[in-house]
Structure 1
Amino acid sequence: MNYQILVVDDEPPARKLLSDYVSKVANLELAGVCSNGEEAMGFLKENSVDILLLDIRMPLMTGMDLLKELPGRPLTILVTAYEEYAVKGYELDVIDYLMKPVSFERFSKAIDKAVEYLSVQVVAEETAEKPDYFFIKTDTRIVKFLFAEVQAIEAQREYIKIITSTRKVMSLVSLTSIANALPGEFVRIHRSFIINMRHIDEVHSNEILIGKDLYPISRNYRDEFFKKLGDRKLL
């Protein structure tokens, strides 16, 4: 299994060094590189990563501020030249704390610790009984949905619209964020649409019919969708 990692540091040499280290570890993939906390916040709202390599002292938004504001933060390894932040870092549940300049040996130990933690987490999630429902926050309510009843989810700017046969509910969540929490019957078919394969009535060359609604299949997601569809075909 490969783990996605994001490097956040305001110093170009540090970003390059950490990126080079990531490239040397077989089960790591560099998901992105950011130069400050605000940039990282924007990236993490649209992308999911497993491990965050995070500098502390940065302009615009410090590493600590980023950790405090992230609603669901990745497993974090702090990278800094300042020892005094160690205690605060562990209060925010970071997995390790690297002092600059970081050697590859020390980097590898921190990554091994993070990967071991993530591996245990994956096993626990796979063996745990998964609920068949979820809750989503609207402006004034928290609404319960059964996964099975959701026909499609549509992105509308910074909001999503959850569509069932009887209701349509808006929530201030990114499509990428909710995609990471959906079970296997859901598949993304377009930058703006995720559909539940349980509810498909017909598949045309570039569209999917669910009830009376047609959903477009974009070129970027076409192969993934038709592969999943092929896995479920009898003939």
Structure 2
Amino acid sequence: MNYRILIVDDEPPARKLLSDYVSKVENLALAGVCSNGEEALRFLKQNPVDILLLDIRMPLMTGVDLLNELPEKPLTIFVTAYEEYALKGYELDVIDYLMKPVSFERFTKAIEKATEYLSVQVRADEKTDKPEYFFIKTDTRIVKFLFSEVQAIEAQREYIKIITPTRKVLSLVSLTNIANALPSEFVRIHRSFIINMRHIDEVQSNEVLIGKDLFPISRNYRDVFLAKLEDGKLI
């Protein structure tokens, strides 16, 4: 499987070096590159990542500030030129700490540590029994859905529309809230759309075909979606 990785660093040479390193590691997919903490915070609110390569000393928002802003933190590797921040990194439960300039050998060791930790988590999750259904409240009813039957979920202002082969149901729930309750076969491809990868018939340029419906893939979500698609299996 490919692990999605986000690079956050205010120095262009560092971003370029780390991007090159990511491209050389077989099981990594570059989800994005950000030049400051505020940009990364916006990205992470819309795009799930597995590993965060994070500089600490940046203008506007430091790496430490960024982690403190995140309710759910990706597995983080600090990358910095300042050794005095090492203790702070361990206080924040980062998986490793890389000193600049980072060698490829040291980079791969940190990535191996992170991916091994993530693989253990995945194996543990696979052993956990999860419900096969959920309930959604409409204006007058509470409706049961099987996760397996849901093809897509669309945001419509303050409502969402749940789409299956036989019905479309509106509910007063935010797309973000329902996304947090969905299993891993669901992926966000647009600010207004989440799709079930089990139902994909075709991927056509910047659209996903499910049955007779086409769903747009936005630029902000495209890399994460394609990385998951390229895994060749649902994760």
> What is residue 169 of structure 1 aligned with on the other side?
172
Q: Aligned-pair distance for 1:156?
A: 4.1
> What is residue 201 of structure 1 aligned with on the other side?
none
How far, CA to CA, are the matches of 1:47 and 1:40 in structure 2? 10
> What is residue 52 of structure 2 aligned with on the other side?
52
2:215 equivalent to 1:218: yes
Decide whether aligned partners of structure 1 residues 29 and 167 sit closer, same or farther in structure 2, where only a CA change above 3 A counts. Answer: closer
Q: Aligned-pair distance for 1:148?
A: 2.6
Q: Residue type matched to 1:161 in 2?
A: I
SS of 1:218's partner is strand
Q: Aligned-pair distance for 1:20?
A: 0.8
> What is residue 148 of structure 1 aligned with on the other side?
146
How far, CA to CA, are the matches of 2:195 and 2:214 in structure 1? 10
Q: Aligned-pair distance for 1:196?
A: 7.3
Trace 1:84-163 onto structure 2 (pairs within 5 A).
84-132=84-132, 148=146, 153-156=153-156, 161=160, 163=162
> Could you give the per-residue CA deviations for residues 135-188 of structure 1, whole angstroms, max 9, x where no partner exists?
99xxxxxxx99653896632246x66265988612237278xx1783354x677
Decide whether aligned partners of structure 1 residues 68 and 135 sit closer, same or farther in structure 2, where only a CA change above 3 A counts. Answer: farther
Q: CA contact under 8 A between 1:160 and 1:174: conserved in structure 2?
A: no
Decide whether aligned partners of structure 1 residues 145 and 13 sit closer, same or farther in structure 2, where only a CA change above 3 A counts. Answer: farther
SS of 1:170's partner is coil
Q: CA contact under 8 A between 1:132 and 1:146: conserved in structure 2?
A: no
2:179 equivalent to 1:181: no
- Single out whichever of 123-132 and 97-106 deviates more from structure 2: 123-132
Give 5+ residue unaligned stretches, structure 1. 137-143, 198-205, 210-215, 225-235
Trace 1:192-211 onto structure 2 (pairs within 5 A).
192-194=192-194
Of structures 1 and 2, the one with the larger relative CO (CA 8 A, separation 6+) is: 2
> What is residue 213 of structure 1 aligned with on the other side?
none
Q: Residue type matched to 1:49 in 2?
A: V
Decide whether aligned partners of structure 1 residues 82 and 169 sit closer, same or farther in structure 2, where only a CA change above 3 A counts. Answer: same
Identity of aligned residues (%): 69
SS of 2:155's partner is strand
Decide whether aligned partners of structure 1 residues 168 and 44 sit closer, same or farther in structure 2, where only a CA change above 3 A counts. Answer: same
> What is residue 63 of structure 1 aligned with on the other side?
63
Q: CA contact under 8 A between 1:155 and 1:161: conserved in structure 2?
A: yes
Q: Aligned-pair distance for 1:193?
A: 3.6
SS of 2:53's partner is strand
Q: CA contact under 8 A between 1:161 and 1:170: conserved in structure 2?
A: yes
TM-score (norm 1): 0.69
Structure possessing the higher radius of gyration over alpha carbons = 1
2:15 equivalent to 1:15: yes
Q: CA contact under 8 A between 1:161 and 1:168: conserved in structure 2?
A: yes
Give 5+ residue unaligned stretches, structure 2. 137-141, 198-208, 219-225, 227-235
